[in-house]
Structure 1
Amino acid sequence: MKVYYQNIEFWDLLSLPLYFILLYLILVSIAKAVLLEDRKFINVYFLALLLFYLFIGLVDFKVRLIPYFPDTNLFTKILETGVTPSNQSIGVKIGYKFLAIPIYWLSLKSIFNYFLFNVFFFQIGIIFLAGAFNRTYEIKDQLVQRFYLILALLMPSVIVYSFTPLRESYFVLALGLFFYGLTGKNRVNIFLILGVILAGILRIQLLLYFFIVYVLLLISKLSLSRKTLITIVIVSVPILFLGLNFLSTAILNIPISPKSLALFRNIQRMNYFESGVSYPEVFWENWFDLIVDFPGLFLQFLLAPFPVIIFIPFWTKLAYFADGVYLLVILTICLGSVKYIKGHGLWLMYILLYVGMSSFFEFHLLGAVRHRLPATLLILGLAAKGLSYYFTSYKWIFRF
């Protein structure tokens, strides 16, 4: 039995319906405030979603449906004792401690209730991401929104990480808040600030990504000719590099150079080498070496757990394999809808930027699936937009 299921008492199941109703009401209220007007669908969808997740959680208690991840023992111990080991990162010592532990207490120290909160935070993040996509492209079609929510419901990694005491639900919440704030009328607003704060205390690397995304949005808002825009980009690249190098050194203690990036990646790889699913060493002496390796690293991260540079028996890890198959389906939908989503270059840049940055640092096959989750959620927006065009003639199926 999983360690977090060992102390379950009968009263845990008695309190579960109360938490279910409370979180459902809050979730629906947030969805109606953020998403397009679609009251009946939202009411039914989130009720069905919570029932579906509750069923998965109860089945997992009996038959171990959800994988047991290596870090689970550590995070379970932190929840149950309130003590964080001193050798952990800031994201664990500060972010997890001051977010997850209060939620665990609020859950009456019931892991079932805690997992309901996990589902809750995941779904809030997804709601804000859907709202951000709507705002970015001024979407008024309910069908796009519905497809986005349904695709998110079926995403294997969201299901899997909803039932682990890890930090993924908080990452998705930070991502959703940031992007929703990014698309607001005011350049600085409460959603943006909360997203940045959450990222800073959970996974400080996200701040670097958020900074670049913010700059990209500002540039995209400039009403300039292509020639002027290219000139600005050429002039600003050295300045941007210096700024990013400063942030990377200050935040991650990693200067942006081929040798330092290779050293960081290879040291991390050594720590997990015995797992048998670490990626090969990299040897980057100069920028040319890094550029040559980049396409392979990019595809390796994006398509994990399917091997690109190396061969690993990925099919033995069913949950990861399912997530990989799911992503291939989503990418196929996007490729088949290129003519419908070709005007979504900015959103595509957000995706490529996240995958590109992450691929430099990722050294572990299973870690890549886990860390790719935010990128997959961003891709869902494009897939939902494409599906809405294909199903335009069949909207009557979705009327209720």
Structure 2
Amino acid sequence: MEFWHLLTLPLYFIIVYLVLTIIAKKILLADSKYINIHFLGVLLFYLAIGLVDFKIKLIPYFPDTNLFTRILETGITPSNQSVGVKIGYKFLAIPIYHLTLKSIFNYFLFNALFFQLGLVFLAGAFNRTYQLKDVWVQRFFLILGVFIPSIIVYSFTPLRESYFVLALGLFFYGMTSKNKMNVFLFLGIILAGILRIQLLLYFFIVIGLQIVVNLKLSRKAILVIALILIPFLFVALNYLATSIVGISISPESLALFRNVQRINYFESGVTYPEVDWTNWIDVILDFPGLFFQFFLAPFPVIIFIPFWTKLAYFADGLYLLFILGISLFYLKHWNQYGLWLMYIGLYVAMSAFFEFHLLGAVRHRLPATLLLTNLAAQCLAFYYPKFRWVFKY
């Protein structure tokens, strides 16, 4: 960090703060005073972490950090990288890096901006989906989102996570709009398409699910239609998966993908076991373990790895359990949020089939964590009036 980077920091801090609060006030329920205070506190919190980390290393080192730093500094992307890196990252991150006058600290401020904007759009989408009017739901969601370890950690790395969260928020906010063809939906889909193809496939399935729900049919009618359409849906999904991800939906191809990737990363010591899938029965039998192995990473489900040695990942796992624990207090009301639960379950189910790496699972689980945080916020807002007297003292 150069001295002049510190001189420009206040200017970028103000710009990020203004952009964040202006957009938040447009997207969220009217709560102007709280929004001003909240995001000022958030940015000061991240500023303090960044300045402390500059002297005392708090943020862990990631193997991809050098790669993405070189791309930022040189503008050159290695030929062996995915489309999401060669196109998405290069044409998003590099212009922002130059916009920040090549100050990595100012660049991290924009990381925090994109993360927080993603949270704002997700809160707005949840408000729209369930016609919420209680500002405490979005307040609790934003507060819980500040302390998610993955968001804190990846705000201070040049990786792509902030862009993924922004894409997720834009997509869900756009999808919950009355006007189904809108700029937010298209921006979310485009970002996913150029950043991570798997996320784009998830978006398409969610859109299909939303179309079925909007038909407002009885459960029996939906079940009959689903049984009739399953063969056609499978063909369409297989075409999308083959075209977008390059993997056909078959037990053998899914197993081959996982096992080959596992071999490539075996020396890391934190890869999941090989799978042996020759038919769909094998996949079905393994599915519950894979589901919870991904969702609860880094805690052991199928395998045992000393997860506590990776403090940042361990902290993220603990926070996930904390969010899940809060949500379970609201279990008897979960039937009202069936659609949101399907979004969570669908994301975890899709990701679980492809995930072969313990630390990768923690990193890639973030969208599911954020969607679950909406339910935790709803739970806290529901019980808050009963314990409001505590805040008088």
TM-score normalised by the chain length of structure 2 = 0.98
Residue 353 of structure 2 is matched in structure 1 by: 360
Residue 177 of structure 2 is matched in structure 1 by: 184
Q: What are the ranges of 5 or more consecutive residues in structure 2 without an aligned counterpart? A: none
Q: Is 1:88 aligned with 2:62? A: no
Q: Per the alignment, do residues 31 and 395 of structure 1 end up closer, same or farther by CA in structure 2, a change over 3 Å counting?
A: farther
Residue 288 of structure 2 is matched in structure 1 by: 295
Alignment check: 8 A CA contact 1:340 1:386 kept: no
Alignment check: 8 A CA contact 1:28 1:42 kept: yes
- Residues 254-275 of structure 1 deviation map (CA, whole Å, 9 limit, x = unaligned): 1000000000011111111000
- Offset at residue 396 of structure 1 (A): 7.0
- Offset at residue 166 of structure 1 (A): 0.1
Name the SS of the counterpart of 1:173 in structure 2.
helix
Q: Distance in 1 between matches of 2:9 and 2:272?
A: 42
Alignment check: 8 A CA contact 1:341 1:386 kept: no
Alignment of 1:1-400 (within 5 A): 8-395=1-388
Which has the higher mean CA deviation after the structures are superposed, 119-128 or 233-242?
Answer: 233-242
- Offset at residue 334 of structure 1 (A): 1.1
Which aligned segments of 4 or more residues in structure 1 are displaced greater than 6 angstroms?
396-399
Which has the higher mean CA deviation after the structures are superposed, 227-236 or 320-329?
Answer: 227-236
- Offset at residue 168 of structure 1 (A): 0.2
- Offset at residue 227 of structure 1 (A): 2.1
Name the SS of the counterpart of 2:336 in structure 1.
coil
- Offset at residue 226 of structure 1 (A): 2.4
Amino acid of the structure 1 residue aligned with 2:250: S
Amino acid of the structure 2 residue aligned with 1:72: T
Alignment check: 8 A CA contact 1:172 1:374 kept: yes
Residue 4 of structure 1 is matched in structure 2 by: none
Aligned-pair identity (%):
71
- Residues 210-233 of structure 1 deviation map (CA, whole Å, 9 limit, x = unaligned): 011001111111122222111111
Amino acid of the structure 1 residue aligned with 2:178: K
Q: Per the alignment, do residues 85 and 330 of structure 1 end up closer, same or farther by CA in structure 2, a change over 3 Å counting?
A: same
Q: Distance in 2 between matches of 1:192 and 1:395?
A: 38
Q: Distance in 2 between matches of 1:286 and 1:300?
A: 21
- Offset at residue 247 of structure 1 (A): 0.6
The RMSD of aligned alpha carbons is 1.1
Q: Per the alignment, do residues 100 and 398 of structure 1 end up closer, same or farther by CA in structure 2, a change over 3 Å counting?
A: farther
Alignment check: 8 A CA contact 1:125 1:177 kept: yes
TM-score normalised by the chain length of structure 1 = 0.96
Which has the higher mean CA deviation after the structures are superposed, 214-223 or 371-380?
Answer: 214-223
Q: Distance in 1 between matches of 2:225 and 2:184?
A: 29
Q: What are the ranges of 5 or more consecutive residues in structure 1 without an aligned counterpart? A: 1-7
Name the SS of the counterpart of 1:306 in structure 2.
coil
Alignment check: 8 A CA contact 1:96 1:202 kept: yes
Q: Distance in 2 between matches of 1:253 and 1:226?
A: 34
Q: Distance in 2 between matches of 1:226 and 1:294?
A: 25
- Residues 15-69 of structure 1 deviation map (CA, whole Å, 9 limit, x = unaligned): 0010001110110000000000001100000000000001011111111100100
Amino acid of the structure 2 residue aligned with 1:182: M
- Residues 324-366 of structure 1 deviation map (CA, whole Å, 9 limit, x = unaligned): 0000011111111112333000000000000000000000000
Equivalent pairs counted in the alignment come to: 392
- Residues 353-392 of structure 1 deviation map (CA, whole Å, 9 limit, x = unaligned): 0000000000000000000001100000111111111112
- Offset at residue 100 of structure 1 (A): 0.2
- Residues 112-171 of structure 1 deviation map (CA, whole Å, 9 limit, x = unaligned): 000000000011111000000000000000111110000001111100000000000000
- Residues 262-303 of structure 1 deviation map (CA, whole Å, 9 limit, x = unaligned): 000111111110000000100000000010000000000000
Residue 3 of structure 1 is matched in structure 2 by: none
